[in-house]
Amino acid sequence: MARKTTYKIKQLKESGKKIVMLTAYDAPTASILSECGVDMILVGDSVGNALLGYESTIPVTLDDVIHHSAAVARAKPDSLIIGDMPFMSYKVSIEQALENCALMLQEGGAEAVKIEGASKRVVDIVRAVVDSGIPVMGHIGLTPQSIFQLGGYRVQGRTAELTEALVEQAKALEEAGAFSIVIELVPSETAKRITESIGIPTIGIGAGPHCDGQVLVLWDMLGLFEDFKPKFLKKYANIRTVIKEAVNEYSEEVRKGEFPDSEHSFEMSEEETGRLYGRTKPSRQRAS
Ligand code: KIV
């Protein structure tokens, strides 16, 4: 399958084809997503909640995302790899953003970066990063890195005014050169209005059916977590149950002495076994 590029992603919107994006944080899942024809792999800072045991994305560092992005890149997926810029790794100054986004490509093997927010400061940063030749995906609506400012994981853009404000943010990001925008946790009508107002693809999560594409956190849609059940999440598998069943069966077989059996063990030749236990004498070399 041909490698996906930001150009091809933009073409999908133009041709009216839906865009499929999922998160991945390691090589085996990245290669599975690629084999399934997933358009974009996001190495999200959601790695903090999904794999690293944090309660939010705030503690996730640039090194964390680079480490996981490099693993994804080693799988050489056809999907476009997007490295998520974590909390405060791009907002301090334009210089900081340029240096860190460059590291995401150079060390993380990403082909684009995702940047949260659309304040004037962030839009200027997006413009500078794009100007440096690094493709940027924007992220508006609920932006988890601003969770303390937003006061929790609440639906954004619930009114006409708030929707128009989000439309302005999306337009500013498009004008700054972003190649697509994630819209998180907004009413369907809000996402529709934004999607119709800009020429670049919108990728929804908790944003209803009218976006140009969809993203979910892989481990959420595979059902790794029992207690995480937001309204927008559809679980396509129950991987937690599958893992538990396998671990329970393994534990039982180990405890009963049924595993490992001869099928899964290596054997010594009869002669060597005999030598080991002193039943046969080792053959001697005759002196000449
Ligand atoms: O980090 C992440 O996985 C994300 C998606 C939820 C869009 O930002």
CA 82 to chain centre: 8
Tokens 């959601």: give the residue. 46
The DSSP line for 189-234 is HHHHHHHHH-SS-EEEESS-TTSSEEEE-HHHHTT--SS---TT--
Give the residues surrounding ligand 1 with Cβ less than 6 Å away: 23, 42, 44-46, 84, 182, 184, 205, 215, 217
Query: Candidates 215, 216, 218, 219: which one to mutate for ligand 1, based on the most atoms within 8 Å of Cβ?
Result: 215
For the purposes of burial, counting CB atoms within 10 Å of the CB of 227, is it exposed (0-12), middle (13-18) or buried (19 or more)? Answer: exposed
Residue located nearest, by CA, to atom 4 of ligand 1:
44
Q: Could you tell me the distance, in angstroms and rounded to a whole number, from the CA of residue 233 to the centre of ligand 1? A: 13
Instruction: Exactly one of 14, 164, 184, 270 is catalytic; name it.
Output: 184
Q: From the alpha carbon of 182, which atom of ligand 1 is closest?
A: 7
Atom of ligand 1 nearest to the CA of 215: 7
From first to last of the 288 residues of the chain, give the pLDDT tens digit: 699 999 999 999 999 999 999 999 999 999 999 999 999 999 999 999 999 999 999 999 999 999 999 999 999 999 999 999 999 999 999 999 999 999 999 999 999 999 999 999 999 999 999 999 999 999 999 999 999 999 999 999 999 999 999 999 999 999 999 999 999 999 999 999 999 999 999 999 999 999 999 999 999 999 999 888 899 999 999 999 999 999 999 999 999 999 999 999 999 999 999 999 986 554 555 554
Ligand 1 center to 41 CA (angstroms): 10
User: 248, exposed or middle or buried, with CB in 10 Å at 0-12, 13-18, 19+?
Assistant: exposed
pTM: 0.94
Domains of the chain: 6-221 (3.20.20.60), 242-276 (no CATH)
- SS3 for 127? helix
